[in-house]
Amino acid sequence: MKIAVEGCCHGELDAIYNHIGHLETRNGYKVDALLICGDFQAMRNHQDLQCMSCPPKYRQLHDFHKYYTGQKKAPVLTLVIGGNHEASNYMWELYHGGWLAPNIYFLGHAGSVRLNGIRIAGASGIFKTHDFRQGHYEKLPYDKGTMHSIYHIREYSVRKLSLLSPTSSDIFLSHDWPQSIEHYGDLKGLLQRKTFFREDVEKGTLGSPPLMGLLQTVKPKWWFAAHMHVRFEAQVPHEGDAPEPVQASNPDEIQIEDEDEATPPVAQPSTSRNPDEITLDDEEDAVEAPPPPPSQPASVTNFLALDKCLPRRQFMEVIDIDANDTSTPPTEAGQRATPFLAFDPEWLAICRAFHPWLSTTRLQRQFPDEAEARGMVAKELEWVRANVKADAGGEIPVGEYQTFVMTAPGPGSEGTRMGQQPPWYTNPQTEAFCGMLDVPNKINPPPTTARKNSPGREVPPVDNAGALPSL
């Protein structure tokens, strides 16, 4: 399979799909799927813009609403994770994953799926130490604090992802970089291009500690990230060998000019701000790196971070990866195949096992230890195999359980509420996911369920395809 990987999207779907078409024409191949590493910005309308954490001047609808309303359709199956500049309300609505638009699938706040037998896992958001061990306490309408914290990754997500079988993941997506990943690649070249990284590198605070822990635990073949708006390659050996710098070029990508490389790195620390990133007041934390892991059997994770979608930037990579599945029918020469998207049974078992620990308040219940957790997952995997319908090949097609449904109106239908945050919506795809696993919907339950689960709280009638008016 040929898989295209994009760094930060920032709503530029038209440009991204056009670039894929250019690469296909120039190189004579067809891309089977596109992966996007966050800052996707799935803005359905102007109300969703009020839920994106960024200065008002950056709040633009861009292209997604055209794909959401059916004006356009994604030409290639697109899998995305969330970053720190998102329509956070919509991504919460699909917390467990689901179709953001036809042919555009969100992996959820954390998730794992199978694409033609290839396991693709991902973690949305960025790390902030003060929210990491909290529950998901944010509720619409968001205030200044919760509009930031809603996209901060939680320990709950990391612990679930850490239970995926080691070395079984082919691809892992994150927005943040794993902490200390810069030491496994060409650090000198990175600092020549991004001198303001030096202070964080010297402090050991560049990137996310939980993600490096996940990389060392799950050991995927590929790890793709974004956020820093620079292309950077690394190789992380899992046998305890010392890291070696790697340098490689991308023959399918537009090359960056060398204007930044004329300035050598300086010895004194410089500002840790990235001038290419939308910066917020609370986005800098000092965190302690995790201890190094014990020696593991020989394997390597290939790490690649990519830039944002702008002219003359290295924002896309096309890789070849062997599919483990032959269920996708062959196509004629020059025609795009339709890859087969399925749920990952092990991830479904993890979700079912850990659902009692999903907190929608600040208080996060203490997690079971690893041995107990793995035993729970093994038990629930038997339940999944016995109760979740699979096809003849043993796969669980996503399309059998989740189909795209518009829950919010498109732009132009908000009326006088255009500048207000939207109401919350009960998403049928979240209902379907929870129904498949026979667990309660804690994310956006229908009004009757919300009334039953919240004694004394009056729930208004349903409005607009399952929406609740703002309370």
In a domain, 30, yes or no: yes
What string of pLDDT tens digits covers the 471 residues of the chain?
Answer: 999 999 999 999 999 999 999 999 999 999 999 999 999 999 999 999 999 999 888 899 999 999 999 999 999 999 999 999 999 999 999 999 999 999 999 999 999 999 999 999 999 999 999 999 999 999 999 999 999 999 999 999 999 999 999 877 899 999 999 999 999 999 999 999 999 999 999 999 999 999 999 999 999 999 999 999 999 999 999 975 444 433 333 433 333 333 333 333 333 333 344 444 444 334 333 333 344 444 444 589 999 999 999 998 999 999 999 887 545 555 555 677 789 999 999 999 999 999 999 999 999 999 999 999 999 999 999 999 999 999 999 999 999 999 999 999 999 887 767 889 999 999 999 999 999 999 999 999 998 754 444 433 333 333 444 443 332
Go through 139-177 and write b for each residue having 16 or more CB atoms within 10 A of its CB, e for each that does not: ebbbeeeebbbbbbbbbbbbbbbbbbeeeebbbbbbbbb
Type of residue numbered 207: G
Length of the chain: 471
In a domain, 305, yes or no: yes
Task: Report the alpha-carbon distance of residue 237 to residue 295 in Å, rounded.
Answer: 10
Say what the pLDDT of residue 8 is: 97
Say what the pLDDT of residue 333 is: 54
pLDDT digit string (tens) for 309-333? Answer: 999 899 999 999 988 754 555 555 5
**267: Cβ–Cβ under 8 A, 6 or more apart, which residues?**
none
Say what the pLDDT of residue 328 is: 54
Type of residue numbered 458: E
429: Cα separation from own chain's centroid: 18
Which residues, in sequence order, are bridge partners of residue 98? 106
On whether the CB atoms of residues 103 and 77 are closer than 8 A, the answer is yes
| Residue numbers of the domain that contains 319 | 2-240+299-437
CA distances for 407 relative to 196, 345, 373, 422, 432, angstroms: 42, 27, 35, 11, 14
Structure-token pair, residue 94: 């699909």
In a domain, 134, yes or no: yes
- With tokens 């290939």, the residue in question is 302
**416: Cβ–Cβ under 8 A, 6 or more apart, which residues?**
none
Say what the pLDDT of residue 452 is: 47
We report the CATH number of the domain holding residue 33 as: 3.60.21
Say what the pLDDT of residue 460 is: 36
In a domain, 252, yes or no: no
In a domain, 6, yes or no: yes
298: Cα separation from own chain's centroid: 28
In a domain, 118, yes or no: yes
Domains identified in the chain, total number: 1
215: Cα separation from own chain's centroid: 15
On whether the CB atoms of residues 365 and 392 are closer than 8 A, the answer is no
**375: Cβ–Cβ under 8 A, 6 or more apart, which residues?**
none
Say what the pLDDT of residue 247 is: 38
In a domain, 249, yes or no: no
